[in-house]
Amino acid sequence: MNAAAKISLRDVAKSFGPKKVLQGIDLDVAPGESMVVIGGSGSGKSVLLKCILGLMAPDRGSIRVDGEETVDFNDHDRARVMRKFGMLFQGGALFDSLRVWENVAFGPIQSDGMKPDQAREVAVAKLGAVGLGPEIGELFPSELSGGMQKRVALARAIAREPEIIFFDEPTTGLDPIMADVINDLIVKCVSDLGATAVSITHDMASARKIGHRVGMLYEGKLIWQGPVADIDQSGNAHVDQFIHGRAEGPIRMQVRKL
């Protein structure tokens, strides 16, 4: 176990019925590091993220945040550790009954007890940090494009200035230019906050841009991890096939031949 790690996982396993989704994951993320976990659909990336966040309990294993074991936390301790986290969900997960500024200010108001006027100023500042003007704050999420919703979700994720930010498929569903804009914003926000980041994605352009280190998840196991610069020389046939997006290789898709 790496004592200096911000997040440390040992032998984390999770099954749903007979399906073993995670099979003994070991992972360390250093403070200030941006770790990207890549892998195909159904490889267990989202489950891994939910286990670290505490949204799902692993069947076995240890998950430590700042050296503190979090697996058996009660509600109070869980809320305390959650304070360190920010999360950008794949679909944004914005509260559609609230205005954009209320979404961004939700954490500061509801969880930190900030006065609404002050929280509104924070929300406007955070919207500015992701390139959105204060007028956007008055709209409802349904009035925004997909790219703008992602930006608002990013503003909400950084509103409480978290120590650790999680990104779940941050560029999925976006055009390549908007995807690059989001990647740039993620790099900037993480760097400005000095935060640790854990991202899951199957977008290699995104992984190369936002990650310091990359790990590949395949059939519930972390089969390779290393610096992002080494990914092209990983020496792992599964990683090679995935990063080049080839249909032929050791990874077989569960589809019938036409």
Residues 6+ apart with CB under 8 A from 64: 1, 5, 7, 8, 9, 70
Write the CA distances from 148 to 1, 92, 165, 168, 240, integer angstroms.
40, 10, 19, 16, 33
The reply to whether 106 sits near another protein by the rule CB under 8 A is yes
> Minimum distance between the CB of residue 219 and another protein, rounded to whole angstroms?
24
In the complex with another protein, the residue whose CB is nearer, 13 or 98, is 98
The reply to whether 96 sits near another protein by the rule CB under 8 A is yes
The reply to whether 91 sits near another protein by the rule CB under 8 A is yes
Closest to 103 in 3D by CA, of 81, 80, 136, 76? 136
What is the Cα–Cα distance from 43 to 185, expressed in whole angstroms? 27
> Minimum distance between the CB of residue 224 and another protein, rounded to whole angstroms?
29
Three-state secondary structure along 2-16? CCCCCEEEEEEEEEE
8: phi then psi, degrees, rounded to nearest 5: -140, 125
What is the Cα–Cα distance from 110 to 40, expressed in whole angstroms? 36
Spatial strand order in the sheet of 68-69: 19-29, 7-16, 60-65, 68-69
The count of chain residues that interact with another protein, using the rule CB under 8 A, is 25
The reply to whether 107 sits near another protein by the rule CB under 8 A is yes
In the complex with another protein, the residue whose CB is nearer, 157 or 243, is 157
> Minimum distance between the CB of residue 144 and another protein, rounded to whole angstroms?
14
Q: Which of 20, 23, 24, 50 binds another protein (CB under 8 A)?
A: 50
User: Strand, helix or coil at 183?
Assistant: helix
In the complex with another protein, the residue whose CB is nearer, 160 or 202, is 160
The reply to whether 57 sits near another protein by the rule CB under 8 A is no
Q: Which x/- pattern over 217-236 shows residues binding another protein (rule: CB under 8 A)?
A: --------------------
Element (H, E) at 222: strand 221-227
In the complex with another protein, the residue whose CB is nearer, 166 or 224, is 166
Q: Which x/- pattern over 149-188 shows residues binding another protein (rule: CB under 8 A)?
A: -------x---x----------------------------
> Minimum distance between the CB of residue 141 and another protein, rounded to whole angstroms?
10
- CA angle in degrees (0–180, nearest 5) for 134-136-139: 130
Residue ranges in contact with another protein by CB under 8 A: 50, 53-55, 75, 79, 82-83, 85-87, 89-91, 93-97, 106-107, 110-111, 156, 160
